[in-house]
Chains A and B, each alone.
Chain A
Amino acid sequence: MSALLSVHGVDVRISGRKILDGVSFEIGPGELTGLIGSNGAGKTTLFRVVLGLQALSAGSVRIDGRPRSRRGAAVGYVPQKFLLDPDLPMRARDLVDLGLDGHRLGIAWPSRKRRARVEEMLDAVDALRFAEARVGSLSGGEQQRVLIAHALVGQPRLLLLDEPLANLDISRGEEVVSLLARIAREQSIAVLISAHEINPLLPVMDRVIYMADGRAASGRTDEVVRADVLSRLYGHHVDVLNVHGRVLVVAGAGSESDLAGHEAVLPGPGHEHGAALEVGLDGVLGAAGEQPPRPEGKAPR
């Protein structure tokens, strides 16, 4: 597998503050990767780096083997949920059409080929039903589908989604996540999704990038979501608990000296360490192939 997105040793400093600190990871085609972290962890900056909107202090970013300045239309982007202006004179279909070549100068003339491509994309995100509606009049979830189609219609190799699950209810969130996983597989593109919370992504995620304080730990989910790896990332002892197939990362009671001791016995991301953790992760991995976990008391609409 050759990496579609390869980020290597990236540092970003903004007015003297280190926002990203030695971030490295790779993601490949057909993979869905979750970018998990709380507010201020550096997720948005990392997206800006990949999109070429943020200068690097150190390191390199390559997209599909090329430097990001020559990425062309290789990256699709769905920004953090925002509502389009209700007065915007545009049907959902028109916004998807604009995704084909909206960055080019001039006017696009309608053609059968364009129309067919837009139709295909609307179908792929299950948005044909409201394709003729004014896009600003759609619900948040519907607008998001249209924006995903807008981002995908130009056939990018890499799709970035900034917090697509924020403000969606649980069942809508599940729909979007499984839709994205399907798109990643079928179109063999790399999908990178940022989120506060890891659980909604667990059933479909191939890899995870966990961020805290500008640093990142990445790898397969079972390699990263472990007490030892996350404790090192946070610089503070945390426990990873498994509850009915969901993961809880909680600040542990351990002190700084505990952490030092903990680190001393760990030779890095291995598979044979921490029996208790593996029990937890078995549960997690077991959930991956089954029904997505659904928190109790929140039935789908």
Chain B
Amino acid sequence: MSLDQSRAPAALIFASGFFGNEAVHVALGVGAAVAIVAGVVGVFTVIRGQSFAGEAFGDIGTAGGSGAFLLGIGPLLGFVIGNVIGAGAMELIGVQRPRGRDLATGIVLGAAIGLGALFLYLTVISQSTSGAAQTILFGSVFEISSSTVPLVILIGAACLAIVATIYRPLLLSSVSAEIAAARGVPVRAIGALYLLALALTVALAAITIGTILSTALLVGPAAAALRLTKSTPRAMLYAAGIGVAALWIGVVLAYDSDHWPPGGRLWPVSFFVVAIVFCAYVLSGLPVAIRERRERRAPAQEPARLGAEG
């Protein structure tokens, strides 16, 4: 690092070459697009209690991604195909019982992990390197080719379009499937469409931070956002914001980590992203904790459960 660079404060944050690097541009652009979609879709994942299905799509993505690697097609396509097949299988197995959903998810998840183990083993022996496994499991946002960007935008737009189209009946059936059914909402079809959006979103998250950590980007920002606001659209906005911030800060820190020990190597972006999301979740609990503490000291006239502005 040259002297004149280290004198400017920005140079301490952004290591040299950050803004001129095309891989960084792609990483920032794809990261933001994926985080926005994950924020919007993730709020419903948390409200509906479908984190387990999200996690399963991560593991199904491992099979899809490593399968794609063996066939020589792009990993994103592998994640997408794998997850869409997985979503279809869950829907077919899923019986209309409250616990049927988890059961179907578990069965498909188990099968996918087995397949993923086989495919990963085959990639390792055919390539005699663990690079593919590392990329699939933990992601490498700097290695996304710019030719993938249109597909990312397309899939992201499809997810947002699905959620916007079914927004009201999805919200109603997430509040109460019983009320929604009584209103004539086709609860099962709405749930299946949402599952498709969820499958596609996890595929997007997988190319940025890897299949194993993909749920963190889906569930973490949304869970933090739900603690900060009592409005669903605003929760989506906050979740998207937290996700974009986490990805961008993660990209910056990973780029900087070239200069950190052991030196000459970039730390995985996924580590930073997940660490930041975790911190955001912990911090999001502070406003509630502070409010409760204040209320305990000076009991208000209104009952505490009426809550405060959010």
- Which chain A residues have a beta carbon within 8 Å of chain B's beta carbons? 51-53, 73, 75, 77, 79, 82, 84-85, 87-91, 94-95, 98, 101-108, 130, 132-134, 137-139, 147, 150-151
Contact = CB atoms under 8 A, between A and B. Distances in A.
Contact of A90 (B179, B232, B309): B232
A105 B168 contact: yes
Given A77-B183, A82-B176, A89 B306 contact: no
A40 B234 CA distance: 43
Contacts of A53: 181-182
26 contacts: A52-B184, A53-B181, A53-B182, A73-B183, A77-B179, A84-B175, A85-B47, A87-B227, A89-B231, A89-B232, A89-B235, A90-B175, A98-B171, A98-B172, A98-B175, A101-B168, A102-B168, A102-B172, A102-B180, A103-B169, A103-B185, A105-B165, A105-B167, A105-B169, A107-B168, A137-B305
Contacts of B47: 85, 87-89
Contact of B307 (A95, A103, A105, A134): A134
A94 B306 contact: no
Given A98-B175, A102-B180, A103-B185, A89 B168 contact: no
Interface string B159-178: 00000111111011001101
B191 to A, nearest CB: 15
A137 B185 CA distance: 26
Interface SS of A by simple majority: loop
Interface of B: 43, 46-47, 164-169, 171-172, 175-176, 178-185, 225-227, 229-232, 234-235, 305-307, 309-310
- The 10 A-B residue pairs with the shortest CB-CB distance, nearest first, are A102-B172, A77-B182, A103-B183, A89-B235, A134-B230, A133-B306, A79-B178, A51-B182, A107-B167, A89-B232
A89 B305 contact: no
Contacts of A150: 179
Chain A CB within 10 Å — which of B47, B179, B180 has the most? B179
A90 B185 CA distance: 20
Contacts of B169: 102-105
B23 to A, nearest CB: 36
Contacts of A51: 181-182
Nearest to B223: A87
Contacts of A52: 184
A51 B181 CA distance: 9
Chain B CB within 10 Å — which of A89, A94, A101, A139 has the most? A89
B310 A107 contact: no
Contacts of A137: 305-307
A82 B178 CA distance: 11
A194 to B, nearest CB: 14
B307 A106 contact: no
Given A134-B310, A137-B305, A108 B168 contact: yes
Contacts of A87: 46-47, 226-227
Contacts of A89: 43, 47, 225-226, 229-232, 234-235
Contact of B183 (A91, A102, A130, A134): A102
Contacts of B181: 51, 53
A130 B230 CA distance: 13
A102 B182 CA distance: 11
Contact of B168 (A75, A95, A103, A139): A103
A20 B307 CA distance: 45
A137 B303 CA distance: 11
A129 to B, nearest CB: 8
Contacts of A91: 230-231
Contacts of B178: 79, 82
A106 B180 contact: no
Given A91-B231, A98-B175, A103 B305 contact: no
A103 B229 contact: no
Contacts of B227: 87
A75 B182 contact: yes
A52 B305 CA distance: 37
Given A89-B225, A105-B166, 5 more contacts: A53-B182, A90-B231, A90-B232, A103-B183, A106-B167
Contact of B231 (A79, A94, A138): A94
A209 to B, nearest CB: 19
A89 B180 CA distance: 18
